[in-house]
Amino acid sequence: MPDMKTYHGQCHCGAVRYTATTDLSSLGDCNCSRCRRLGWVMQSVPASDFRLESGEANLSVYHFSTETIDHLFCKTCGIESFSRGSDGKGNELVMINVNCLEPPVPVDRNGIKHWDGANW
């Protein structure tokens, strides 16, 4: 089992910064209209393992489809470095965009689990 580690993430301009503790063992992507366009590589993190360090006031929310996920993006640079929602059991989750971690982490695209969000 991979080790848990605390990662640092941010938007492009650095106004929004966070830490997330995870093992990066469940990387995924999604083919919904939004994720496909953004090129997200996702990692689900329990909300208790996520901490927004700065930039709360600089976040703007976007909802679409079922309007159950808070897609949060930086008002300055437009980057969505994480989103908030819950799983089917009501557990609060944060989905981090692994492409926004600093320093960048290597991603084996062959190991990514694919979510068919286009047909969900």
Are the beta carbons of 79 and 100 closer than 8 angstroms? yes
The model carries a pTM of: 0.89
Of the two residues 67 and 106, the one the predictor is more confident about is 106
pLDDT tens figures, 49-99: 999 999 999 999 988 776 678 999 999 999 999 999 998 898 999 999 999
CA separation for the pair 99, 40 (Å, rounded) = 7
**110 CB-near residues (< 8 Å, 6+ apart):** none
User: How much of the chain exceeds pLDDT 90, in percent?
Assistant: 67
**94 CB-near residues (< 8 Å, 6+ apart):** 20, 44, 45, 46, 47, 49, 50, 82, 83, 84
Q: Is pLDDT at 27 greater than 70 in this prediction?
A: yes
